[in-house]
Homo-oligomer: A and B are copies of this chain.
Amino acid sequence: MRMHGEIEGAQAEIRRRNLSRMLRELHVSRPLSRSELAARLHVDRSTVASLVSELVGRGIVLERPRSRLVPQSPGRPSPVVELRQSGPGALALDIATDWLGAAVVGLGGKIIASARRDLSLSNASPEKVVADLAGIVRPLLAGIENAPRLVGIGVSVPGLVRAEDGRVHAAPALGWRDVAIGELIKEEFADLGASVCIGNDADLAASAEYLRGAGRGTGNFICIWGEVGLGAGIVVDGRLLSGAAGYAGEIGHMTIEPGGDLCHCGARGCLESVVGEEALLRRSGRDPLGGTAAIEDLVSAADRGDEVALSALVESGRGLGIGIAGLVNIFNPDRVALGGLYGRVYRYVRAPILLELEARAMPAPRAMVDLVTGRLGGNALLLGAAELALGPTLDDPAIAPLLQEQAPAGAVHHP
């Protein structure tokens, strides 16, 4: 007997793809007129009409007459299609070493509400973390008007996340090993009826920066991300590099100095052990475990022109530059962005990184690569987590249920 329903017709596949492309276009761009959509998707106007009406019917977008304020071109005006705030949205959670964050994010990457609580989570049990998250999320959800329908919960974790099932294989910064954090969160927020997706922090930051931050307009993009650990999210031809099991991007453990200092991972001379937060703090004479506060102190010392602070930063920048040069040779990216800790000290590490790039990256890739700082700041992780949770809806908008209600006031009616 043949399985069917598995593929279910290539026509349906076209339809799904076109719906997805349209929704993604609105998601990463802005409200667009039907004509603009037709031009961008390379489909006929009648097809656009059909696709838009389906998305309207599922409560994902709405149409409104084009504003009179913007200058018009001749011809019949095209109604503008825009994302509906009460449409699909995500709950984004950010578990870091020194804080917990949460946000409700709508399609289009709009942060509708967010909250953050600073606290140290090194060696906090997963159960405690989930309980603390609930304490943040519940009031957050209660305070939202015209809330989106939550279709998913995306979670950022600073550690190795197995792609297959979202288990956290290891998160040294939290002291976790093999934790099914997704299951715990799913239980805690069972009433929301949303699926849970877990992602590595650097990957999520890269995904967000790629879509709506420093990586826009590129196809090959690397986002270096470090807080306590050091990793990278790597976008190759528009897709996030995940590797065979989801563990890709662990650039913190490239060897930079074979005989260097001992790293937590047991090896010597890992990039993380040379330029990570601990190494940076140690070099500047501060408590290596001082965390965010110590880093802020270091930065303000550097701002005052403190020699020790500056040279510690330069030293770290050179190490990082060696690592980045290797990545440039390996990936030939359009752009490399520094986020997290390295985004905050960007202005001090940029010059030494460029120096090492000049010395160590091959001329051709070096000439084309662009070194920048992340543009989303602390929101990168939350936006990336939301992206993860919204993925299924973006890939197949037809999973959103049809609405019974009529389109809300303000929509265009066709008599």
Q: Is the CB of B362 within 8 A of A250?
A: yes
**Does A288 interact with chain B (Cβ within 8 Å)?**
no
Given A160-B364, A219-B244, A241-B236: A253 and B329 interface contact (C-beta under 8 Å):
yes
Q: Copy number in this complex?
A: 2
Q: Is the CB of A170 within 8 A of B257?
A: no
Please indicate the chain B residues that have their CB under 8 angstroms from the CB of A251 in the complex: 329-330
Tell me the minimal C-beta distance from A305 to chain B in angstroms.
Answer: 28
**Does A291 interact with chain B (Cβ within 8 Å)?**
no
Please indicate the chain B residues that have their CB under 8 angstroms from the CB of A10 in the complex: 14, 18
Fill in one digit per residue for A315-354: 1 if any B CB lies within 8 Å of its CB, else 0.
Answer: 0000000100111011111100000000000000000000
**Does A121 interact with chain B (Cβ within 8 Å)?**
no
Question: CA separation between A362 and B257, bound complex, in Å?
Answer: 17
Question: CA separation between A333 and B10, bound complex, in Å?
Answer: 32
Q: Is the CB of A267 within 8 A of B332?
A: no
Nearest B residue to A39 via CB reads B2
Return the 3 tightest CB-CB contacts between A and B, nearest first: A243-B332, A254-B326, A247-B332
Q: List 10 A-B contacts (CB under 8 A).
A: A10-B14, A219-B244, A232-B330, A236-B241, A241-B331, A244-B333, A245-B365, A245-B368, A257-B258, A326-B326
**Which positions in A face B, CB cutoff 8 Å?**
6-7, 10, 13-14, 18, 42-43, 160, 169-170, 218-220, 232, 234, 236-237, 239, 241-258, 265-267, 270, 322, 325-327, 329-334, 359-365, 368
New contact pairs (16) apart from A243-B333, A247-B332, A255-B325, CB-CB < 8 Å: A6-B42, A7-B42, A160-B364, A232-B330, A237-B239, A237-B242, A243-B331, A245-B364, A247-B364, A250-B329, A256-B258, A265-B362, A267-B325, A267-B359, A326-B326, A330-B330
